[in-house]
Structure 1
Amino acid sequence: SPPEKPAEIKKKKTVVIDRDLTQANIILGHIGISRDNPAYYAASVMNYILGGGGFGSRLMQNIREEKGLVYDIHSSFSANKYGGSFRVSLQTKNESANVAIEEVLNEMKKIMNGKVSDSELSDAKAFLTGSFPMRIETSGRIAGFLVAVEYYGLGVDYVNNYPGYINSVTKEDVLEAAKKYLDPEQFILVVVADKEKASIVENKSRE
């Protein structure tokens, strides 16, 4: 029988691991999307715009480039057959950990409450379709790709259909995916930092 789907996160949970570090290492995450969900492609485009697109992403532009709070930040969906996860990973000074976390949540809320721009949408599509051939540029990658296609039931024409799936995503699709698959109210937050300097508001800590 297939494994049970991951249990839903019913509330915020914070775990602080106290370490003598000069910077805080932070991961915020919650339940994501399964690979066979038709909204997977809209979620992929949305994530690229939010935090998966390197220096062009909203998280990077706002929290690193404009506010100078983080050294590195990115978001990702890990879509599996029986559910998946969404997470944001970042590193910042201990003293700015709380502010950086709040900015992440603000960016999640922002993309949930307003359509992305034309340029954000076109840039995301161009990258996701343009980088796709690199997934199958070696024999090893081709083998892994074919296994995934079979495992997830994506169809024998998936390599030809993928660009169309991405290019068909609209601003409305991105907004709907953000509203449905992001949750800035219920998540698990893990912080590895100097506990005293970071001053994270916690409901569970581990020394």
Structure 2
Amino acid sequence: IAVKDNGIGLSPPALADVFTMFSQVHDVHARTEGGLGIGLALVQGLVELHGGTIEVFSEGAGRGSEFIVTLPCRTPDTTQPAEGAAPDEGSSTTICRKILVADDNQDAANTLALLLRLAGHDVRTAHGGQAALTLADEFEPEFALLDIGMPDLDGYEVARRLRLTDRGKDLRLVALTGWGQDEDKRRARDAGFDHHLTKPVDPHRLDALLTERGG
């Protein structure tokens, strides 16, 4: 799949960083800058989750850009397993999870939710700590991905309160934060989190976490 435009183009330095989370190309002629710089990082993550690749080409600033997505083509398997045969241990099946995403940055929460829904999960979003507690009680998720820096109730406090509920004892809590030092990880563990992911979240690591056995 190839998509080509005649827009602002990309300089060599911009080409190197275009798929980096929160990276933005600045157009000196534009009055405003939209978006968070996460769209192309999201696209790359989705393509790679499907075993594909994405490339970008540009002849320079003001000369447009071309994006090429390559995805593997699977040949349908027409062979039928013998009746009563055990499934192939090497085969994998999609594990669909009920996931709560809580982040006061609505764009970040909605983008992560989109990524998870495209992977087949049932996702709800909350844009604050108190809203996350209310939604968790109604939705009864298996996983809760909680931003640490929410202003009304931070992720640590939300995690503590969730752990006090009956369903919270089995809930898998994942901290989402821009801080990844040992002290930050210790605070997350002390608050009751099972996992600590540093933003920008690696889609491959998140997918592995959600689909691991016993997760």
Question: Which entry has the higher C-alpha Rg, 1 or 2?
Answer: 2
Higher relative contact order (CA 8 A, sep 6+): 1
Name whichever structure is richer in strand by fraction: 1
TM over 0.5: no
Q: Shorter-chain TM-score category? A: under 0.3
